[in-house]
């Protein structure tokens, strides 16, 4: 029986993946190369510094910057990203998410966040989502990035729930792999073919219910 649902943030509950992409693409443009949306897929669920390496590699600049310069580039990207985030409101929570979270609460299911982002708290507050969570694990609490399972296993541990009773909702291949490594089932959100390894897939949370989840995963 599923007693805990663990949610990735970017790309699952809110559409901040497009802000991450725009901020990286702006940085790449300033450095003199283009970073396409397809190339941006590889940064989903990946930590900030690992994402920077992916972007620099696309531009053939992986060995060009010192560690200090890379820290500066990452900080500039984050400032751009936060500028986009500052426009967010509770209306930016993706369709069907609030209804599904309320359905979980009604069924006594625990709700956790498992995000690689150091900005997760800011986003939860802007979108009035923080109070929904029984446990919040984000990039300020864990340093090992997905596909390391810690971002999900830590949430289950905080709530005292066995991994086999947890389901992870993810939009990134690295996150599905992290869930599998944590011994948890997973739901791939968004229909990307990179999510084929998830236990089940949904396009959006619209009309999705705890009953429907349990019919496929139990
Ligand atoms: P930050 P998630 C991840 O969040 C994003 O998918 C990924 O693109 C980003 O690089 C990472 O957070 C770190 O974010 O720079 O805000 O600390 O999908 O795990 O919720
Ligand atoms: Mg994500």
**What is the model's pLDDT at position 199?**
95
Average pLDDT over the chain reads 95
What percent of the chain stands above pLDDT 90? 88
* pLDDT surpassing 80 at residue 195: no
For residues 189-205, average pLDDT: 88
pLDDT at position 210? 97
Q: At what angle do helices 67-85 and 17-31 cross, to 10 degrees?
A: 130
How sure is the predictor about 21, in pLDDT bands with cuts at 50, 70 and 90?
very high
The pLDDT score that the predictor gives to residue 218 is: 78
For the question of whether the overall pTM of this predicted structure is more than 0.85, the answer is yes
State the pLDDT confidence band at 193, using cuts at 50, 70 and 90: confident
Bridge partners for 200 per DSSP? 187
Active site residue 192: no
Give the mutation target among 88, 115, 118 for probing the ligand 1 site: most ligand atoms within 8 A of CB: 115
pLDDT of residue 19: 96
* Span 87-105, average pLDDT: 97
Q: Which ligand is nearest to the CA of 45?
A: 1
């Amino acid at each position: 029986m599923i007693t805990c649902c663990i949610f990735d943030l970017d790309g699952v509950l809110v559409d901040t993946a497009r802000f991450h992409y725009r901020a990286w693409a702006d940085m790449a443009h300033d450095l003199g190369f283009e970073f396409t949306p397809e190339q941006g897929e590889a940064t989903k669920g990946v930590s900030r510094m690992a994402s920077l390496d992916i972007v620099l590699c696309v531009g053939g600049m992986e060995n060009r910057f010192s560690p200090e310069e890379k820290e500066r580039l990452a900080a500039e990207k984050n400032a751009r990203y936060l500028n986009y985030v500052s426009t967010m409101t509770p209306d930016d929570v993706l369709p069907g998410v609030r209804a599904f979270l309320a359905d979980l609460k009604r069924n006594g299911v625990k709700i956790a966040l498992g995000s690689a982002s150091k900005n997760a708290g800011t986003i939860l507050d802007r979108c009035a989502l923080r109070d929904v969570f029984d446990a919040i694990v984000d990039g300020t609490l864990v340093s090992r990035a997905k596909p390391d399972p810690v971002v999900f296993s830590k949430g289950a541990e905080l709530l005292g729930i066995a991994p086999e009773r947890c389901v992870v909702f993810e939009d990134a291949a690295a996150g599905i792999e992290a869930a599998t490594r944590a011994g948890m089932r997973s739901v791939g959100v968004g229909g990307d073919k990179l999510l084929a390894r998830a236990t089940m897939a949904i396009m959006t949370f619209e009309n999705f219910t705890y009953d429907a989840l349990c019919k496929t995963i139990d």
